[in-house]
Structure formats: structure tokens, C-alpha cells
A and B are shown apart, each in its own frame.
Chain A
Amino acid sequence: MGRAIGFRRRERDRRRVSAPSVLPPSISKDFGATLVCGIRWRLGFGGLLSLARLAVLLCSGVLIEISSDSAVAPIGSFRLLLPFQMVLVLAIGDLHIPHRAPDLPAKFKSMLVPGKIQHILCTGNLCIKEVHDYLKSLCPDLHIARGEYDEDARYPENKTLTIGQFKLGLCHGHQIIPWGDLDSLAMLQRQLDVDILVTGHTHQFKAYKHEAGVVINPGSATGAYSSITYDVNPSFVLMDIDGLRVVVYVYELIDGEVKVDKIDFKKTANTQSAH
């Protein structure tokens, strides 16, 4: 048993360095810890895992790891047991197809598979219908803010929606001058009254926490040319929203390799009072 767990750990470590093939990537072990109470009861009676085994798994911190590998239970069925629903949100934008790039990088395309993601927030500049259809095929719950190159005039300038305990705002960002300026984006965030603001336009990945919440820029998924950012790397963001916590995974394509970074945010009581 011990050896098996050791192996799993190594595997997880390796996967974290290279690109995971299946979304989501390894889920943090703190995640498992926060849910101990909720899971032990339910799993014990649900007969999915023996209590002894569960204890070992919890100690080693690989519980969620195993479940996400679907060795014990597929992630969907697991979710039903959790006290909070875990939700995956893809933030993607500024693809500029076909003006500035021929297509999404093949590596990204192979990672983005239908059925794994619950919501897509797109910061705009798709620019054509094919791309819209592609995103829609990944996940039917697709929200798009209008970029300046989008031919579809029906996209709104900005949009807000609530996912779990979080209120999210979406805006392309060319309307916010100076472009990419965090203080100005913070003003938009106050205006929309959201916990997480997702914007684009600069083609540079950013995740920034300030007193009133989080501002995320997923960058350009195709690494499109930008007058604002030199040397754009293709990137997108996957948010794992779970209760009061959001884990932001940044996928970036650097010299043909997908690098994944993880940033953790927690909603504080202070911001909660906004509701």
C-alpha cells in the first residue's frame, strides 16, 4: 500500500511539472483536508472506500488525486458527495483567429476536451463564428464579452454572473483606459461589484489580488500579436471554484511545452459583506 502511494505521489509530481493530459490537473491536497469531515461520513456509508483506506489516503494527501484519476470514482460522481460543488471555469480570450493566428495551438486543443468544464468565460476577440462554435462545443454555458474585432455585435460590452459563492465579471478591456491598468480595472470591478473580474486585451496573463477581489487576465490563447505586450505566449486560465476558495491554474505554452502554474485565492469575510 505504502509503495503504491509513493508511486502515486511521484506520478503527481511529474504531472505537475509537465502538462496534465486531462483536465483538471492534480487538485491540491489542502482541498482534501478542508473536506475531511464531509467526505469521511459520506464515503464511509456510501461504501466507496473503506474507512481504513480512506484514513491512509487522507494522511498521504492523495485522496483527491486518486479520485481525479478516476481510479476510485469518476470525478462527476464524487462531486455529488461534496458539501460544496466543485466547478471548473475556463477563462480564455483574445484568440484573434484568423487575423493574427491560424488556430489554437494543437497542444491546447488536445487538452480542452468537451464535458470537463462547467462554464466558459471568454474575453472576446474570437473573432469568427467557427471559434464561437468550437468554444460552444467544449461547454454549452459560454459567456462572451465583446472585443473590438468581434464581428458578432450581439456580444455585450460586459457581463456579470454568479458561480457558487462567487460573483464574476467579464469585460474585454479595451474600454478601460489606460489599457491593462490595474487601478482602473479595480474601478470597473467596484462598478460591477464582482469578486473576480476577468478581462483581456493586453494578451498577457495576469492574476492579481487586491483589497476587493481578484482580477484575472487569461492572456491570448493563440499567443496573438499585441501592440501592448511583446513576446506573447499562448495562455489560458482554468478556475476551480470551490466554496469560498478559487484555485487558478494558468496554462502557458512556452517554447512548445505547456507549463502549468497554480495560484490560490480565498474569499475573505470582508468581501463577502458585499452581498
Chain B
Amino acid sequence: MVPDAAAADEEKCLADGIGRLQHNAFYMHRALDSNNLKDALRYAGQMLSELRTSSLSPHKYYELYMRAFDELRKVEMFFVEETRRGTYSVTDLYELVQHAANILPRLYLLCTVGSVYIKSKEAPAKDVLKDLVEMCRGIQHPVRGLFLRSYLSQISRDKLPDIGSEFEGGANTVNDAIEFVLQNFTEMNKLWVRMQYQGPIGEKAKRGKERSELRDLVGKNLHVLSQLEGVDLDMYKETVLPRILEQVVNCKDELAQHYLMDCIIQVFPDEYHLQTLETLLSAFPQLQPTVDIKTVLSLLMDRLSNYAVSSTEVLPEFLQAEAFAKLNSAVGEVIEAQVDMPISGVITLYVSLLTFTLRIHPDRLDYMDQILGACVQRLSGKTKVEDSKATKQIIALLSAPLEKYKDISTALNLPNYPRVMDHLDNATNKVMSTIIIQNIMKNNTCISTADRVDTLLELIKGLVKETDEAQDDELDEEDFKEEQNSVARLIHMLRTDDAEEMFKIISTVRKHILLGGPKHLAFTVPPVVFSALKLLRHLQNQDGDVNGQEVSVTQKKIFQLLHQTIEALSSVPSPELALKLYLQCAEAANDCGLEPVSYEFLTQAFILYEEEMADSKVQVTAIHLIIGTLQRMNVFGIENRDTLTHKATGYSAKLLKKPDQCRAVYACSHLFWVNEQDGVKDGERVLLCLKRALRIANAAQQMNATRGSSGHVTLFIEMLNKYLYFLEKGNPQITSSAIHDLIDLIRTEIQSDNTTSDPSANAFFSSTMRYIEFHKQKGGSVGENYEQIKV
């Protein structure tokens, strides 16, 4: 309630003030209209007396001031008119207004007349300005003084003896203008700073707020300075900047120092900053230890970076000014001077410095490393950074070179890059690792040496290694999958055409990923396996021109590596995946003509099938892959081949569901009949398989009959198609009578099923019959085989 009441009081005070002000203004205007100067000045004085109040906050005071300001403009107009007409002389007026009873109204009126005085050029501008700025010292109350001086600054702006201005010349030089503004600025700053120390201690925070409302009044002076034509680089360097900095440093006020440094950087051109970098930077360490220097310094560096890219012509200036060295040492000094600066602040400074360096010295990797090294130094001795602000800054720091060079290799060349990353906690390390991977994927960067691969994987170990912390449980399953998939994608980017180096890369990757936990391996092993298989293909293609023996040594090494890698996976347990990978390797070994290796891989696959595959659906897929792979192999001698085919057929016949059994067994028939030139063609065993499959189909049909359902006619039609297939291929064991029997069987089944007719089976059968018809008509060698079939 209290603040509200106070606010209401203030509101009332303001309203009263405005009321009285308007009242006096009214009479003042009447006096002016009737050319009664004496009354007019009296009312003007009374009107301006309202500004003497101490009960308004700066915000409200400003409202009152603005009204007074408007009225004063009219008074000024009146003075201008009257002096032009010659009713009064300016000199007289200048004396006359000083008769006002109170000092504040007196000074406001004096400034107003002063403005007219300068305009009339009856006295040198510099003398009037000097007089005014000195007289204003009479007001030492901060708020009133600030507004009075602000008024002075406002009315004198267009009357400064600047170069090119009508008030320059004779005794008036631009130096006088600068001197005037600087003096006004200094006095205003003093008032502004003093404000902090007046009034009760309990309202310190409130005063801070009030002061920041007033800061633009002070800053306005700097703006005026920057607008002066006469302030060229030399002038700025010799006079303006040193004088401002002197005031800034000496005022020893946190708020003022922060604001004014900010102001200097913003209002003066970047070119000036570059040329006076040393002077400007030397001020930073002298500021109060509580000043938020990092923001200001970052602002300066950001501005300079932007300036550097604005045009190519300015870059040499940066080199000439040794901007990097100066900024670098300034950053160092500031950090030394401000012991309490939080680590996030320190990193922010380095981020700005790094951005600056990237823009101006993109070729100087040593600079970049120097900055990262300095960061490491600041971070060392501390435990992992967990402050979220600081980690965000470190990520910005580490991402900047990636974005700039679009090539991770650059970062990998910086010895201090991984050291900075070491200071990240696990979660942030993962975030950063993901950024690195995304960068590589986006720019399609290949990492083509084993050393770099090693560095890179060490860098992103947060994703590759298993973390021993308990937070694993909290980890979101989806996130984890996404992370690991990105690692898997990354592995494909680690490649080179040089076979020897590629092998080293694969070994390196393997070394790293095996440090991962069981959950990681299911994601990371397959890409490594396929990288190695690709390398094998590559070697095979080269086989012609490289010494055969040498190659096969590498091949054997690769197969060894593959074996060990997949083994890790099968113990994880991801047996299904391991089985598929073993089969891929077996086929690759087959292509290389390595029988024992191939046999070993198949053995591993079979062991996994026997010991680990429990789910019937998984079994079906696995068995199809086993048969499909085996069917394509030609490396085996009769004995090995028999063992393997026997096993595969055995597995097929032991599947749980009869239809699956039947299909797997008839698929096995292809193991004994390979269509290629010198492929196996064992017609008898094909027939054995088909008969066995047919028996299973019969059994399935009977089981169905006991259940009273139908639906396995399809199996018979599939069998019929298989018979036709081998008939077509010229297997002498397939007789037309067997086919006739099958067709009859199917017809009976379909008819007996009539009540629950299966349209898909009917369609399958009729398309099969059409197929037979087609071949009979077509004739030729295939047609001959069909001739004996009567439909």
C-alpha cells in the first residue's frame, strides 16, 4: 500500500506543479502580448520556480521540465523578435533576466537569452557559452542541475562554433565548442554520480533505478561531441577521448563507468576505436572491479568484427593497429583485474575475441589456439563446468571455428580444442559432440587419416564411451537412439581411398567403439563392419594391379578384425544383428575365395541360431537369410557344403509353424540347384526337398482339417510353382505325373473347400494355370518341358 500511496502523492504533486506552471505561463503570455517585459519576466520566474521541487522522481520531473521547456521556447521566440525589432538590446536582456529572485529560474532565463545572444553575434559565441556553463555551477542539486545543463546543451547544440558552422571564425574555434561540451559533460557526470550518495541508505536500489533513467541526459553530450564536424580522428585521439576517459575513470562509479564506456563505443565511429584501441583498452583495467566489463568489451570486439567485414579495405588497418595483440592483452588484464568475474563472463570475453579473430585473421590458427589455450588456463583447477551459462558460452566458443571453416579438420589441428572440451560435463560434452557431428554431416567432410579419426573420436567420447554415471537411467531412450544413430552415420564419413590408411582408420574406430557399453555397440558395430566390408571390396577391385599375396594378408587381417568386432556384439546381446553380420562376412569371404574363413563365419552364425534365436518369427527371417546366403556360396568343397546344407535343411524342418517349415524346406531345394554354369545341380536332392516340403504341406492341411478351417491350399499351389520352376530348369527328376498329381490335389482341395472359398488362393491357382498355358503355347525348349502337362 505504501508505494501506491507514495505514487499517488507524487502524482498529485506533479498535477499541482503543472497547474501552477500553466497558470503562470498564462499570465506570462498575456504580459508578453502586451509587451510588458517586466511582468513577463516575473511570471516566467514564477513559472520556472516549479522546477525547484524536490518531491518528484526524475521521471515525473521530466514531464514538468518538458512543459517548461515548451514555454521557454515561446519566450525565446519573443526575445528573438523583440531584439530584431530593436525594442531591447540583447545585452540589456542578458542583464535583466538576472534579476530573477531565485537562482534556478534565473539560470534558465539566462540560458534562453544566451541562446539569443549567440545568434545575434553581438558577442563571441565562446564567451557566452563559457559564461553560461560556468554560471550553471550555481545549481548543485543533482536532478535540477542535470536538467538545467541538459537544457543548456539542448539550446546550444546548433550554436556551437563547429567547423563549417556560422558561429565559427575569429576568436571562435572548434576547440571552444569541444571545451564547452566536455565541461558540461564533466559537470553533469559529477552531478549524476553524486546522486548515488544522497538520501537515505535504504533507498540505494531505488536511486540506482532513478539514475539509470537519467543516464541519457549525460550520454547526450557524447552524442553531441560525435556529431561535431571538428572532431576528426586527431582531435578525438588527442583531446576528446583522453578527457572523457579521464572523467570516466576518475568518477569511480560503477553505473557511470559501465554506461559511459558503452556510450563511447556506440556513438563514435569504429574507425576511431581501431585507431585509439590502446588508449581505450587501457581504461578497462582501471575501472571499478564490479563493473560489468565483459559486456562492454564484448560489444567493442563485436563492433570491430563487424566493421572488419564491412569492407575489405579496412582489414590492413586492423593488421597495422595490431588489434588482436591489443585486445588479447586487454582481455587478459581485465580478467586479472576482476577476480570475481564468473567463469561464464570470462568465456564470453573469449568468445568475442575468437569471433573477432575469425573475422580478421582467419588464417591465423595460432591465434585461435592461443585463445583456446587461455580459456583452458582459466578453466583449469576447476572441476567440470556445470553452470549452464558458462557451458552455453563454451559451446559458442567451440562452435565458432566450426561454423567459420566448415571443416572439422581445422578444429582437430588446434591442440587446445580438445582440452577445452575436457572441461565440459557429460551432458554438455554430448551436446557439443552432436554439434560437431552435425557440422561434419552438413559439410560432407571426410576425415581421411587415422590420427585425425583418433582425435575426433577422443573429442566426442561423450557419445562413444559409456559413461559410468548413474544418470544413464534417466536418459531418454529416444534421445539415446538419436545420438547413437548420429555416431553411426559419422563412422561412414571416416574414410579414404588409400587401403592401408583405411584399415588403420577402421582399427582406430573399432578401438574407440569397443569402449562403449552394450547399448552403444548395437548402433556402432554395424557401420564399422560395413566399412570393413567396403574396404574388402575395394581391395578386390584392385586385385589385378597389386601383389596378390600382400593383399590377402590385409584381407585376412580385415576378416580377423570383423570376427572380433562382431563377437563383441553377439555377447552384448544383439544376436540377431550379429547373425546377419556374420552372414555378410561369410559371403564376403566366399567372394575372396577364403573357404575356412567363410566356414568359420557361418559356424558362428549357426551357433547363434541354435543358441540364441528363440522367437519363431525371428527364426523364420534368420533361416531365410541363412539359406539365401548359403545358396550363393561356391567356395565350399563337397564335405563342408554337405555339412552346412544339412544343418540348414534341419533348421528349416524344425521351425514351429508348419507353413513356415514347408516354405523354408522348399527354399532349401535351391541349395542343390544353382542355375549358374558350373553350379551344383543335384536333381535328386532337389526332389527330396520338394517331397519333404509336400509332406509338411499335407500335415499342415490335416491339422487344418482337424481344426475345421481351411487356408493352406496356397501351400500346395506354391509347391506346384516350385515343381514347375525346376521342370523349367530341366531337372530330370521332376516328372509330369508328379505335377498332374499336384494339380489334381489342388483342384480337389479348392472344390472341397467350396463353402469357405479363399479368393486369393483361387487367383493364385488360376494365374499359375495361365502361366502353364502360356508356356505351352510359347513352345521352345521351355515349352517342351510343359508339353506333357495336361491341364
Q: Which residue of A lies closest to B591 (CB)?
A: A227
A99 in contact with B764 (CB, 8 Å) = no
Query: B670 touches which one: A101, A102, A177, A230 (CB < 8 A)?
Result: A177
The digit string for B747-787, where 1 denotes a CB below 8 A from any CB of A, is: 00000000000001001101110110010000000000000
Stretch at the interface among B110-118, B410-418, B714-722: B714-722
The listed residue with most B CB atoms (<10 A of its CB), out of A129, A186, A190, A274, is A190
Residues in chain B near residue A99, CB distance under 8 A: 488, 526-527, 530
Residues in chain B near residue A35, CB distance under 8 A: none
Give min CB distance, A154 to chain B, whole Å. 12
Q: How far is the CA of A128 from the CA of B484 in the complex (A)?
A: 11
Is residue B23 contacting chain A, with contact meaning CB distance below 8 A? no
Q: How far is the CA of A177 from the CA of B664 in the complex (A)?
A: 10
Stretch at the interface among B145-153, B548-556, B619-627: B619-627
A225 in contact with B533 (CB, 8 Å) = yes
Q: List which B543-566 residues lie within 8 A (CB) of chain A.
A: none
Is residue B628 contacting chain A, with contact meaning CB distance below 8 A? yes
Is residue A175 contacting chain B, with contact meaning CB distance below 8 A? yes
Residues in chain A near residue B482, CB distance under 8 A: 130
Given A103-B441, A211-B771, A230-B537; A97-B489 close (CB under 8 Å): yes
Is residue A84 contacting chain B, with contact meaning CB distance below 8 A? no
A193 in contact with B485 (CB, 8 Å) = no
Q: List which B714-758 residues lie within 8 A (CB) of chain A.
A: 714, 717-718, 721-722, 725, 728
B763 in contact with A227 (CB, 8 Å) = no
Residues in chain A near residue B526, CB distance under 8 A: 99-100
Query: B527 touches which one: A98, A130, A177, A191 (CB < 8 A)?
Result: A98
Is residue B667 contacting chain A, with contact meaning CB distance below 8 A? yes
A190 in contact with B721 (CB, 8 Å) = yes
Is residue A6 contacting chain B, with contact meaning CB distance below 8 A? no
Residues in chain A near residue B774, CB distance under 8 A: 211-212
A177 in contact with B627 (CB, 8 Å) = yes
B764 in contact with A193 (CB, 8 Å) = yes
Residues in chain B near residue A174, CB distance under 8 A: 621, 624-625, 628
Q: Which residue of A lies closest to B618 (CB)?
A: A153
Q: How far is the CA of A186 from the CA of B774 in the complex (A)?
A: 14
Is residue B587 contacting chain A, with contact meaning CB distance below 8 A? yes
Q: How far is the CA of A102 from the CA of B444 in the complex (A)?
A: 10
The digit string for A33-68, where 1 denotes a CB below 8 A from any CB of B, is: 000000000000000000000000000000000000
Q: How far is the CA of A193 from the CA of B588 in the complex (A)?
A: 36
Residues in chain A near residue B670, CB distance under 8 A: 177-178
Q: How far is the CA of A153 from the CA of B620 in the complex (A)?
A: 14
Q: How far is the CA of A98 from the CA of B486 in the complex (A)?
A: 8
Is residue A149 contacting chain B, with contact meaning CB distance below 8 A? yes
Query: A228 touches which one: B489, B534, B624, B632 (CB < 8 A)?
Result: B632
The digit string for A119-146, where 1 denotes a CB below 8 A from any CB of B, is: 0000000001110000000000000000
Residues in chain A near residue B527, CB distance under 8 A: 98-100
A178 in contact with B721 (CB, 8 Å) = no
Query: B667 touches which one: A103, A148, A177, A212 (CB < 8 A)?
Result: A177
Q: How far is the CA of A149 from the CA of B529 in the complex (A)?
A: 14
Residues in chain B near residue A179, CB distance under 8 A: 628, 631-632
Given A211-B774, A230-B537; A225-B530 close (CB under 8 Å): yes
Residues in chain A near residue B263, CB distance under 8 A: none
Is residue B572 contacting chain A, with contact meaning CB distance below 8 A? no
Residues in chain B near residue A80, CB distance under 8 A: none
Given A102-B441, A106-B444; A227-B584 close (CB under 8 Å): yes
Q: How far is the CA of A203 from the CA of B452 in the complex (A)?
A: 32
Q: How far is the CA of A175 from the CA of B666 in the complex (A)?
A: 12
A100 in contact with B718 (CB, 8 Å) = no
Is residue A254 contacting chain B, with contact meaning CB distance below 8 A? no
Our count of residue pairs bridging A and B at CB distance below 8 angstroms stands at: 104
Given A99-B526, A174-B624; A225-B493 close (CB under 8 Å): no
Q: Which residue of A lies closest to B526 (CB)?
A: A99
The majority secondary structure among interface residues of chain B is helix
B493 in contact with A102 (CB, 8 Å) = yes
Q: How far is the CA of A96 from the CA of B533 in the complex (A)?
A: 14
Chain A: interface size category: 35 or more
B718 in contact with A191 (CB, 8 Å) = yes
Residues in chain A near residue B34, CB distance under 8 A: none
Task: State how many residues of chain B have any CB contact under 8 Å with chain A.
Answer: 54
Q: Which residue of A lies closest to B671 (CB)?
A: A177
Is residue B681 contacting chain A, with contact meaning CB distance below 8 A? no
B725 in contact with A183 (CB, 8 Å) = yes
A148 in contact with B625 (CB, 8 Å) = yes
B587 in contact with A227 (CB, 8 Å) = yes
A102 in contact with B628 (CB, 8 Å) = no
A190 in contact with B587 (CB, 8 Å) = no
Q: How far is the CA of A7 from the CA of B767 in the complex (A)?
A: 49
Given A148-B580, A178-B670; A191-B717 close (CB under 8 Å): yes
Q: Which residue of B lies closest to A151 (CB)?
A: B481
Residues in chain B near residue A225, CB distance under 8 A: 530, 533-534, 537
Give min CB distance, A170 to chain B, whole Å. 16
Q: How far is the CA of A106 from the CA of B584 in the complex (A)?
A: 28
Give min CB distance, A235 to chain B, whole Å. 18
Residues in chain B near residue A129, CB distance under 8 A: 481
Residues in chain B near residue A102, CB distance under 8 A: 441, 489-490, 492-493
Is residue A187 contacting chain B, with contact meaning CB distance below 8 A? yes
A177 in contact with B537 (CB, 8 Å) = no
Residues in chain B near residue A149, CB distance under 8 A: 580
Q: How far is the CA of A137 from the CA of B490 in the complex (A)?
A: 24
Q: List 20 A-B contacts (CB under 8 A).
A: A98-B523, A99-B526, A102-B489, A102-B493, A103-B441, A129-B481, A148-B580, A153-B617, A174-B625, A177-B627, A177-B628, A177-B631, A178-B632, A178-B670, A179-B632, A181-B675, A184-B725, A225-B533, A227-B587, A227-B591
- For the complex of A and B, 10 pairs with smallest distance between CB atoms: A98-B488, A99-B526, A102-B489, A227-B587, A193-B763, A102-B492, A190-B767, A98-B489, A177-B667, A187-B721
Residues of B within 8 A of A (CB): 441, 444, 481-482, 485-486, 488-493, 523, 526-527, 530, 533-534, 537, 541, 580, 584, 587-588, 591, 617, 621, 624-625, 627-629, 631-632, 667, 670, 674-675, 714, 717-718, 721-722, 725, 728, 760, 763-764, 766-768, 770-771, 774
Additional pairs, 18, CB under 8 Å, beyond known A102-B489, A102-B490: A98-B486, A98-B488, A100-B530, A102-B493, A103-B441, A129-B481, A148-B621, A174-B624, A174-B628, A177-B627, A177-B628, A179-B628, A187-B721, A193-B760, A211-B774, A212-B774, A227-B588, A274-B767
